[in-house]
Structure 1
Amino acid sequence: MSTPGRNDPLPVMAKADARAWAQHMTESLAQSAGVTLTPTTAKPFFGNCVGKHDEVADDGRYTLSYAVDSTVPLQHHPEAVKKIRAALERQKFSIDGYRETWEGRPSALLDAADTDGRYLVSVETGGGTDRLLFRVNTRCLMPPSAASPGQR
């Protein structure tokens, strides 16, 4: 695996395709844990790409943060997150953070990164309830209409 260089062309992807990819990714992770997502809770947020010095290009590049909930009994959160971790490791994601606790009430947190594409995945207990939150964040993406001829 190689990490993209800062001068490498941005991946080209339409916003609808990015959302569909994030939805597929969260559904796949939920399936690996044997849980069902609640589609009505899906929240895609498209934002501007912000540079190191807070600069924003005016060429259509964007990031996507996609979040969706599932309802899983709280005591099953750690086991579900373990299964998701195993699925991500099989897909060669690096695990950047992992925690499960049983103090007072069960809680779980997992952060992982796809080092090839700079996609981040997070799964966590939401507010001490039966809510298990799935989140996918993308790196900067370029919409097809703004891509240069060499990037298409």
Structure 2
Amino acid sequence: MPADDDSKDINAPLPRMTREAALKWARDYTDYMGGIAGVDIDRSTEVPRFGKCVGKNDEVAEDGRFTLTYYVFAEVPHTQHTAAVRALKSRLEKEGYEMAGYREYQDAYYSASLSARHKEHGYTVMADTNKPKKTSPDSMSFSANVPCMLPPDAEQQQF
């Protein structure tokens, strides 16, 4: 059943993955995105954030399920941001991602932005002009996010 099917049973089995495997996937995928975009990811800037899964009715289980939001940065002249998001859009659409948002670089205010969700697995990825000091748009953030996963050895809590 596709990840975007709203008729999903609240107690349907969750996909299983360890936190370590999720983090490895996110690191590998942001490296992959950097390769597509033609930029060097600065791994020293990584920010992994594990969170709890929140259900459709705001339920939160205590069985170890988690989500992961992961992002890193790369120094990229703003003149290359449009080429980067174009290349990503082209490749990701071929790999089963659906664009949730897309904008090419216009200026520091209307910056480059791409957001996509994998139709089957629910993974989301993003690439955006980054404004860390709000003075120079010469960097980009790359994000890979893991949807709700249950550790392989956990017993899934029922609601």
So what's the TM-score if we normalise by structure 1? 0.89
Q: Secondary structure at the match of 1:144?
A: coil
SS of equivalent to 2:63: coil
Q: 2:153 aligns with which of 142, 145, 148?
A: 145
Q: Which runs of 5+ in 1 are unaligned?
A: none
- Give the Å deviation of 1:95: 1.0
Question: In 2, distance between residues paired with 1:147 and 1:12?
Answer: 11
- The equivalent of 1:136 in structure 2 is 144
Is contact 2:106–2:112 with CA below 8 Å preserved after alignment? no
Q: Hey, what's the Cα distance between the residues in 1 that align with 2:108 and 2:41?
A: 26
Q: Could you say which residue in structure 2 is the equivalent of 1:111? A: 115
Deviation at 1:51, TM superposition (A): 1.4
Q: Do the aligned residues in 2 keep the contact of 1:29 with 1:87 (CA within 8 Å)?
A: no
**Separation in 1 of the partners of 2:32 and 2:83?**
16
Instruction: Tell me if structure 2 keeps the 8 A contact 1:112–1:120.
Output: yes
Identity of aligned residues (%): 37
Please list the CA deviations of residues 67-96 of structure 1 after superposition, one character each: whole Å capped at 9, or x if unmatched: 111110111111111111111012121111
Which runs of 5 or more residues in structure 2 are unaligned?
A: none
What is the distance in 1 between the residues matched to 2:108 and 2:50? 37
Conserved? CA contact 2:78–2:139, under 8 Å: yes
User: Which one of 27, 32, 35 corresponds to residue 36 of structure 2?
Assistant: 32
Counterpart of 1:11 in 2: which secondary structure?
coil
| 1:91 pairs with 2:99 | no
Q: Which amino acid aligns with 2:2?
A: T
Q: Which has the higher helix share?
A: 1
**Residue aligned with 2:26, SS:** helix
The one-letter amino acid paired with 2:151 is P
| CA shift for structure 1 position 53 | 2.7
Q: Which residue of 1 aligns with 2:82?
A: 78
Q: Over aligned residue pairs, what C-alpha RMSD do you find?
A: 1.7
SS at match of 2:34: helix
Which residue matches 1:52? 56
For 2:107 and 2:53, locate their aligned partners in 1 and report how far apart those are by CA, in whole Å. 39
- Specify the SS of the correspondent of 1:24: helix
Alignment partners' CA distance in 1, 2:129 and 2:155: 38
- State the alpha-carbon separation in 1 of the partners of residues 142 and 108 from structure 2: 23
